[in-house]
Structure 1
Amino acid sequence: MAKSTVKSTPKTLDIIKNDPWLKDYEAAIVGRHRHAEDKIAELTQNGKCSLSDFASGYLYFGLHRTATGWVFREWAPHATEIYLIGDFNDWKESPKYQLKRIKDTGNWEIKLRGNALKHGDLYKLKIHWKGGCGERIPAWCRRVVQDEQTKIFSAQVWAPEQPYVWKKKTFRPNTAPLLIYECHIGMAQDAEKVGSYNEFRENVLPRIAADGYNCIQIMAIQEHPYYGSFGYHVSSFFAASSRFGTPEELKRLIDEAHKMGIAVIMDIVHSHAVKNEVEGLGNFAGDPCQYFYSGGRREHPAWDSLCFDYGKNEVIHFLLSNCKFWLDEYHFDGFRFDGVTSMLYYSHGLGEAFCNYGDYFNGHEDDNAICYLTLANALIHEVNPKAITIAEEVSGMPGLAAPFKSGGYGFDYRMAMNIPDYWIKTIKEKKDEDWKPSSMFWEVTNRRADEKTISYCESHDQALVGDKTIIFRLIDADMYWHFKKGDENYAVERGIALHKMIRLLTASTINGGYLNFMGNEFGHPEWIDFPREGNGWSHKYARRQWNLVDNKELCYHYLGDFDKAMLDIIGKEKNIQKSPVTEIWHNDGDQVLAYSRNNLIFVFNFNYARSYTDYGFMVPQGAYDVILNTDAPAFGGHGLNDDSLRHLTNFDPLLARDGKGWLKLYLPARSAMVLRRAQEDKKTENK
């Protein structure tokens, strides 16, 4: 492993050179950069070891099999006594299973010989501290299970005789472009139950591959006590959720995905932790602030959870080790960091508008959290230079997805969270005749020039109960009564048409990647409502009804087939995410938009009533073929164009000197098409 090296901060960081408006905040930007440099130097002893070496706590702490038996270690500085209790000693304290403090540190250790523990044993820690004691699940444990009858969680010894053997030992994600399928293992099945890693691998992974996605982003992997938290109230950070299966089954899923050419990234939660004390870290050894901030900053006011103290080296060690663990042990290809906005600001971003640059540099930023995120990105890319990191961040903090050497925080991508908000606002608040293509185009291309984004129309957030997916906002209850082919009414026809156009506009203007939440591509009709007391603990709405898209008598397959065709074009257009998005034309009165990328031209007519004959655009001279049309019958359209016809530009002597001509098209109302310039014309031009 290469050692981490720290270079001196250049005179002017690139993010300031790239954006002169940041010059007024240079002191703050340089200060944050140097904070990270200094912390790396401290943790690596000025380069004597690497950041990866530092972040190997999971190889030391927790339970490990040795040549002579077992060793267990835990960080618990406020403990006075610690015992292992479990199946092996009838859940009672005994001298044989008592840990000893390691010298004058806060670390505790026990070494056991022979078969004192065996694979499958349940266990916990019994921790004593001044004024109290309690049972705790070890902070570094890798396996936690819940008793079906008592609902009590326990750690489990996990040391199978035959560890998983990886079939695909090396893998390089395809990021040209990154096409992400956001998914949840438990709710990925038709059946009204919690799905498994195996069922996902067998039933869902082939669908994802066939649809053209090259990356899955898996939610709810880290163990969480409450299923309905969607995995965001984590209790055991190193344990893959056992409600979906075994560690080996998760590894096999990832291995199989890699064999299909699909990268696997994890939705990692380091922005907060569940408040539970018995299952989590809330009061681990009599110190409520062992892992978390003290005082008013300890609890998150909106999430009913606890906020990590990113200023403690021990907490940084815990979290960085967690990043490396999932890369090393499970071969994940990277992470989508949840709740980054909450980490960046003392206010967690709540109630703030972030209207100008000064709002990012006014002293209310948590420099410890910023430093941790910068270190996490440095570590992840040191362990795997091809790893993918994505920030879920809504405030627009400059530099978040810029390289560390440039003065940024090192994420590869940031979520374009403005886009789904824009589509929701447009659908909810504007009449069809008020949809303005100029506004749409600005919104989907509004991003920092030096930062890559993940564009999306909607994610799991918009599918949760209490909210609505795009298809449901467009069609509502008619989804239930008029989605059979031949029985479509106006609402359904409108919804199907706009669903395709919104997705095409969003996906075709990416500068990094595109994301979709499972089922939304075919217009899944139900919201997500996890089992809870209020719904009788039902799984009815915590599943995906694949039977709907498989049924060729229903309209769902139109949307699914279109999504596949759209991704096929985007995925095969070489480095489309790096090509400029060049506006050709917009007319808000006509509600028409056209733009180009490489040899592709995208044309949209959002007008709900007017179709246009011989609508012309100035484009490079040549021949153009229609390669995708939202109005095609195969996608639920009316088929008003003959897409087999080749379109030739009309010569215009005033345009000829620029190598351009008029491309005239028939544009049906509420439709979009993609045209590709014939390759022979491009070859002639290049000569």
Structure 2
Amino acid sequence: MNKFSDETALYYFNRGVSTAAYLELGCHEGAGEFGERVFRFSVWAPNAESVSVVGTFNKWDEKADPMERVGTTGVWEVAIGVARPGDLYKYAIGTYTGEVILKADPFAFRAEAHGTASVVGDMPYYEWSDQDYIEGREDQPDTYSEPMNIYEVHLGSWKQGLGYHELAHELVDYVVDMGYTHIEIMPLMEYPYDPSWGYQVTGYYAATARYGEPEELMYLIDCAHNAGIGVIMDWVPAHFTRDEHGLRLFDGTPLFEHPDPRRGEMPQWGTLLFNFEQTQVQSFLISSAMYWLKEFHFDGLRVDAVSAMLYLDFGKNPGEWLPNRYGGHDNLDAVAFFRKLNSAVNNLDGGKMLFAEESSAYPYITRPVSEDGLGFAYKWNMGWMNDILTYMSMDSIYRKYHHDKLTFSLCYAFSEHYVLPFSHDEVVHGKKSMLSKMPGDYWQQFAQLRLLYAFQYAHPGKKLMFMGCEFGQYIEWKEDDSLDWFLLDYPKHSEMQLYVHDLNHFYLDNPPMFDIDDSWAGFRWCGVDDNIHSILSFMRTDRDGNSLLWTFNFTPQPWLDYMIGVPRYGLYTEVFSTDAPYFGGTGDYPNAPTMSVCEPYGEHPCRIRLRLPPFGAVCYRITPKPLPKIAAIQEDDA
């Protein structure tokens, strides 16, 4: 009879319904038979012939601390009195072939810095001071009508050399000043290979030691919350690395991966795919997500590579994948996993969110599980991102032939709850930096980048921007070097940073920009079909009826008298322009407050004449005025 394990908890783990398997498995401090301090080690290795714990405390002797099976649970366990916090350890697993393999602990809370071993230690403990923030999130768990402007960060290269503790001040202060609402951090689960950026994980419960201790990461999140900033982490449940100390063939058999390589391998990435048919794998991953959300107070997780999980043929050629039981390519077990995962997360207090990085047209990603959806809070709008970057990268003379890339996104903009992402993936591998994507001369590049960001912020959907994009980083992002902060010594780059700062705060201060992101009630086209001049205009409206008119000129040709049809009679006052001189614009095309005219134009009952700067966007606040009786009837009919 075992002394430590809760066999009921292990039963739930094996059934695939555990949401806190980390409380039972891994390394935990406890009391021995005589009250002495011991560390209890538990590992799931059902097909192993033998398992022992080896480490610095027993000179890596495979015979010193053998483990015992816990009934028929597939779990092995031992308590060790000589182990001390900070000691290194692994599991020495005897396989059915007679081989002994060394594996890091899948449930370890700490990992060796620049090594492959796990580190002895119980769950990290931290005295949180973010109660007011957490209670505020509980009072407002629905973020759909709130502003959300995410700053995506790779901690090691934002400013190289800073750890969790330093970033808790420098990064958080910067994000607050710039007007972002959330920080999204690229994966912090321990990983062996720096150029993987954290997307090839070995420690699903261990905060990477690259930047400090787990408690210091908690301090960073606590500081962010006390400053009113939410924190999201990238989480990678699709695939894992082949490294020998990781999950691959963990007990000598395909345990976490599917035994059929047509299901278990991802040739495109050289990694292995999790087997969602395995109930213990479901418990392992769901518990990992819950660990970061509950114990570290993360506000959300961005789930990486969702398409690779949903489709059995993702990234594979014919013959390289195995159809589902109906002959199709949907991964039915992954669909069930997502519903189980999101149901668990949605039961947490504090408005926790999961974001799907999903690049296909798979339906109902953000529909509730109760309505046959997958249950995610948000989906990244990869289609919008690809269309607008393709459009902006072409010379403006050709844009008239591709006007649909500006407008097509509104055909599906309200089918999901979307985030509009300009992420790290768009500034690497020869894709160029955001600034370098823009055609034209030096001035035109900056002008078009300002125009692009204005379009992103005005378009329905929450916002995400990768670090460095806010000041016009010229070169692609490199994970092994700091951002080029020295560029802020050059006027155009400091003007770009000021522009993003002011655009962020304008977004925060104006509910029409975010209040209704998920229906036509918050959006109305004013000018949608002027492809010849590459000009676009639309109106954003909040629940109180306040409206902003946005106009966009995607060519270098300024307009002094451009006519737009509008649905409201009233005073149109310019409140934001990408062409302001302090942003690096010309400042030559300001608009004085202008009354619309009660004469039909296109499908609208009123019209207005405006000045449009080259490669510029202008926003106008609409102050409605009473109409003459006949005009009022026309407007009501529109």
- Which TM-score band applies after superposition, normalised by the shorter structure? 0.7 to 0.9
Residue 589 of structure 1 aligns with an amino acid whose one-letter code is I
> C-alpha displacement at 1:159, in angstroms?
4.5
1:548 counterpart = 2:514: no
Question: Where does residue 445 of structure 1 map in the other structure?
Answer: 410
> C-alpha displacement at 1:223, in angstroms?
0.8
Q: 1:65 aligns with which of 6, 13, 29?
A: 29
Residue 474 of structure 1 aligns with an amino acid whose one-letter code is M
What is the alpha-carbon distance in structure 1 between the residues aligned to residue 523 and residue 494 of structure 2? 30
> C-alpha displacement at 1:637, in angstroms?
0.4
Question: Where does residue 47 of structure 2 map in the other structure?
Answer: 78
Question: Where does residue 535 of structure 1 map in the other structure?
Answer: none
* Residues 29, 121 of structure 2: 8 Å contact kept: no
Question: Where does residue 249 of structure 2 map in the other structure?
Answer: 283
1:220 counterpart = 2:187: yes
Residues 388, 127 of structure 1: alpha-carbon distance in 2 compared, 3 angstrom cutoff: same
What is the alpha-carbon distance in structure 2 between the residues aligned to residue 499 and residue 493 of structure 1? 10
Question: Where does residue 522 of structure 2 map in the other structure?
Answer: 580
Residue 63 of structure 1 aligns with an amino acid whose one-letter code is C
Question: Where does residue 497 of structure 2 map in the other structure?
Answer: 560
> C-alpha displacement at 1:125, in angstroms?
1.3
TM-score by length of 1: 0.80
Residue 585 of structure 1 aligns with an amino acid whose one-letter code is G
> C-alpha displacement at 1:231, in angstroms?
0.8
> C-alpha displacement at 1:209, in angstroms?
1.4
* Residues 474, 491 of structure 1: 8 Å contact kept: no
What is the alpha-carbon distance in structure 1 between the residues aligned to residue 234 and residue 624 of structure 2? 41
1:627 counterpart = 2:582: no
What is the alpha-carbon distance in structure 2 between the residues aligned to residue 258 and residue 250 of structure 1? 13
Question: Where does residue 91 of structure 1 map in the other structure?
Answer: 60
Residues 600, 284 of structure 1: alpha-carbon distance in 2 compared, 3 angstrom cutoff: same
Question: Equivalences for 1:110-129 in 2 at 5 Å?
Answer: 110-113=78-81, 116-129=82-95
More deviation, 80-89/338-347? 80-89
1:380 counterpart = 2:319: no
Question: Equivalences for 1:440-479 in 2 at 5 Å?
Answer: 440-447=405-412, 449-456=414-421, 458-474=422-438
Aligned Cα root-mean-square deviation (Å)? 2.9
Residues 290, 342 of structure 1: alpha-carbon distance in 2 compared, 3 angstrom cutoff: closer
1:521-558 per-position Cα deviation (integer Å, ceiling 9, x unaligned): 2211121234xxxxxxxx3xx32123323x3x421122
Gaps of 5+ in 1: 1-42, 353-358, 476-489, 531-538
What is the alpha-carbon distance in structure 2 between the residues aligned to residue 195 and residue 363 of structure 1? 48
What is the alpha-carbon distance in structure 1 between the residues aligned to residue 182 and residue 16 of structure 2? 25
Helix, strand or coil for the counterpart of 2:441? helix
Question: Where does residue 594 of structure 1 map in the other structure?
Answer: 537
Question: Where does residue 248 of structure 1 map in the other structure?
Answer: 215
Question: Where does residue 364 of structure 1 map in the other structure?
Answer: 329
Residue 669 of structure 1 aligns with an amino acid whose one-letter code is P
Question: Where does residue 155 of structure 1 map in the other structure?
Answer: 118
Residues 614, 472 of structure 1: alpha-carbon distance in 2 compared, 3 angstrom cutoff: closer
* Residues 433, 608 of structure 1: 8 Å contact kept: no
Residue 314 of structure 1 aligns with an amino acid whose one-letter code is Q
1:523 counterpart = 2:472: yes
Residues 510, 437 of structure 1: alpha-carbon distance in 2 compared, 3 angstrom cutoff: farther
1:28-61 per-position Cα deviation (integer Å, ceiling 9, x unaligned): xxxxxxxxxxxxxxx999xx99x99721100000
* Residues 86, 122 of structure 1: 8 Å contact kept: yes
Helix, strand or coil for the counterpart of 2:157? coil
What is the alpha-carbon distance in structure 2 between the residues aligned to residue 629 and residue 143 of structure 1? 49
Question: Where does residue 536 of structure 1 map in the other structure?
Answer: none
1:537-593 per-position Cα deviation (integer Å, ceiling 9, x unaligned): xx3xx32123323x3x42112222222222222222221424522100131122221
Helix, strand or coil for the counterpart of 1:467? coil
Question: Where does residue 154 of structure 2 map in the other structure?
Answer: 184
Helix, strand or coil for the counterpart of 2:218? helix
> C-alpha displacement at 1:468, in angstroms?
1.1
> C-alpha displacement at 1:87, in angstroms?
1.8
> C-alpha displacement at 1:345, in angstroms?
1.1
Residues 619, 351 of structure 1: alpha-carbon distance in 2 compared, 3 angstrom cutoff: farther
1:641 counterpart = 2:609: no
Question: Equivalences for 1:606-625 in 2 at 5 Å?
Answer: 606-625=554-573
Question: Where does residue 492 of structure 1 map in the other structure?
Answer: 442
More deviation, 576-585/133-142? 576-585
Helix, strand or coil for the counterpart of 1:321? helix
> C-alpha displacement at 1:389, in angstroms?
1.1
1:421-476 per-position Cα deviation (integer Å, ceiling 9, x unaligned): 213322445543434684243234242634111113x210111132212211226x
* Residues 605, 669 of structure 1: 8 Å contact kept: yes
* Residues 212, 564 of structure 1: 8 Å contact kept: yes
1:324 counterpart = 2:303: no
* Residues 305, 357 of structure 2: 8 Å contact kept: yes
Q: 1:165 aligns with which of 127, 134, 159?
A: 127
Q: 2:372 aligns with which of 399, 407, 410?
A: 407
1:627-669 per-position Cα deviation (integer Å, ceiling 9, x unaligned): 11011101110001345x32222344x68xx995332211122
Helix, strand or coil for the counterpart of 2:522? coil
